[in-house]
Amino acid sequence: MIVKPVAGNLSLINDELAAWILVDPLRTATRQRARIDDNDALLAVVHGFGSSGWRHSQATQAYVLRGVADGAMKLRARRQILQTAGKDQTAARVG
This prediction's pTM: 0.62
Q: What pLDDT score does 31 carry?
A: 67
Q: What is the DSSP string of 29-91?
A: TS-SPP---TT--EEEEE---GGGGGGSTT---EEEEESSSSS------HHHHHHHHHHHHHH
User: What is the C-alpha radius of gyration for the chain, rounded to an integer number of angstroms?
Assistant: 17
Ramachandran quadrant class, 80 (left: phi over 0; alpha: psi -120 to 50; beta: rest):
alpha
- Give me the tens of pLDDT residue by residue for the chain, a chain 95 residues long: 888 898 899 999 999 888 888 988 777 666 677 899 988 889 988 887 778 887 777 777 788 888 888 777 777 787 876 776 566 444 444 44
